[in-house]
Amino acid sequence: MSTDKGVVRPPYKVLSKWIEKVGIEFLRQRSEEAETIFQRLGVTFSVYSDGGDPERLIPFDVIPRIYDAEEWRFLSAGIIQRSRALNAFLFDIYHRGEILRAGVVPTGLVYQNQSFIPEMVSVDPPHGIYSPITGIDLVRTGVNDFYVLEDNCRIPSGVSYMMDNREIMMRMFPDLFSKISIEPVDQYPDGLRKTLLELAPSNASEDPNVVILTPGMHNSAFYEHSYLADQMGIDLVESQDLFVEDRVVWMRTTLGPKRVDVIYRRVDDTFLDPLFFRPDSLLGVIGLFDAYRHGNVTLCSAPGAGVADDKAVYAFVPKMIEFYLGQKPILKNVKTWLCGVADDCAFVLDNLSELVVKEVHASGGYGMLIGPAATSAALADYSARIRDNPSNFIAQPTLALSTLGTLCGDALSGRHVDFRPFCLIGEKERLVAGGLTRVALTEGSLVVNSSQGGGVKDTWVLADNKFGFR
């Protein structure tokens, strides 16, 4: 919110004056009201590791994150560029593999990747789009310094919280919104629906049937599944609601079977179809993968898109951008050491106490070591794990993430934040001016994930030209 010298940055000037006027007690009261509304709406995030009731409210902080129009122009260009390159990479590795032939990306990093699905080779998704919804996690380390922490190409979650945050803020602080002109985010469901319709198979009807496939109410993001289905006006289905006949997917309805053309699936690859993946899966549909490979239904995202989520593959995204788009990367990558490379592994082991180390396939903040905050025992244990399976780990320097004023008890205190915007890619790119800001509520913590106790904030883009959907 302010510079190193304590001067309030221009995007926050109106907000800062408003906070001084209304006072902390007013904000605290509104925060309690917001929590009550979240409880009534059932805005929850399930956490499986607590050992108790898995349903928990996501902590919501009333101090928003703000980008000005110029900052958003820069970010949006970088987000779209990166999303395009990741989709080009996915199409390439399941077809000619030009980037592998050129030696830009190591072959083993792709073909030995646990997310690579050989049965997807030569499969052509509509418009060549493997990942129509990407979530690009960004952090800020300086006034003009933004870094991508990781890419989410399989099933990025959190967009419903982005929209709920905005609705709550507008309800709690209407006077503040009258003082500041902010770009809307409520076009996202319409944009998502248009994107999914654009990716319908060529043999679909003129009015394709789109559904969301959910693992069910015990999934951590079930609230989001039901929210998006409601907002888009489409059916939310579970595996027992679908069946495949003659390589066509049908939905059971009270009026008889109805063909399904596009499935926005929130089920992991390995559970999609017990015939091709895990035979014990109760979350998938028998014959679904065969129907997909024959072009009779579109799965969004495509099976196998998780290769682009891999934290080791992440290190090569800048080269992908140059290889496929012929452009210089707009957004920076964090320096990354691949423990599967002998020299990198030696460096990581020698400097473990100064680095952040992650498992290449982990998500949600699990399996991560933050060296400067780790105990000697934790460092020794993690060192042994790296030596046992080096290729399963990458390491990065500990970044000085920006902090943002956060309501902590009866005072505002700085807490580290990151930012996840959601880019849609169909016949064209769509990006709402905003995203999900996550905040590490524990003082000094760098872990913002909701599954690790992190909270959320509303994200404002100051209105200039209308960004909206491109």
Which one-letter DSSP state was computed for residue 302?
A: P
The reported pLDDT for the residue numbered 142 is 85
In angstroms, the Cα distances linking 13 to 145, 169, 280 are 21, 18, 56
Amino acid at 346: A
| Cβ burial, residue 25 (10 Å; 0-12/13-18/19+) | exposed
Q: Which of 438, 447, 439, 449 is nearest to 415 (CA)?
A: 439
Number of other CB atoms surrounding residue 439 within 10 Å:
22
| Residue 424, C-beta contacts closer than 8 angstroms, at least 6 positions apart | 132, 133, 191, 192, 195, 430, 431
Element (H, E) at 417: strand 411-420
Amino acid at 280: D
What the chain holds in terms of domains, given with CATH numbers, is 202-296 (3.40.50.11290), 335-398 (3.30.1490.270)
**pTM (2 decimals)?**
0.92
Of how many residues is the chain composed?
470
Print burial letters for 256-267: b (CB count within 10 Å at least 16), e (below 16).
eeeebbbbbbbb
* Cα–Cα distance, 110 to 118 (Å, whole number): 11
Q: What is the pLDDT along the chain (470 residues), one digit of tens a residue?
A: 888 888 999 999 999 999 999 999 999 999 999 988 888 877 766 554 445 445 667 889 999 999 999 999 999 999 999 999 999 999 999 999 999 999 999 999 999 999 999 999 999 999 999 999 999 999 998 888 999 999 999 989 999 999 999 999 999 999 999 989 999 999 999 999 999 999 999 999 899 999 999 999 888 889 899 999 999 999 999 999 999 999 999 999 999 999 999 999 999 999 999 999 999 999 999 999 999 999 999 999 999 999 999 999 999 999 999 999 999 999 999 999 999 999 999 999 999 999 999 998 866 566 789 888 889 999 999 999 999 999 999 999 988 888 999 998 888 999 999 999 999 999 999 999 999 999 988 887 777 766 666 889 999 999 974 434 33
Torsion, Cα 44 45 51 52, to 10 degrees, reads: 0
Terminal Cα-to-Cα distance of the chain (whole angstroms): 29
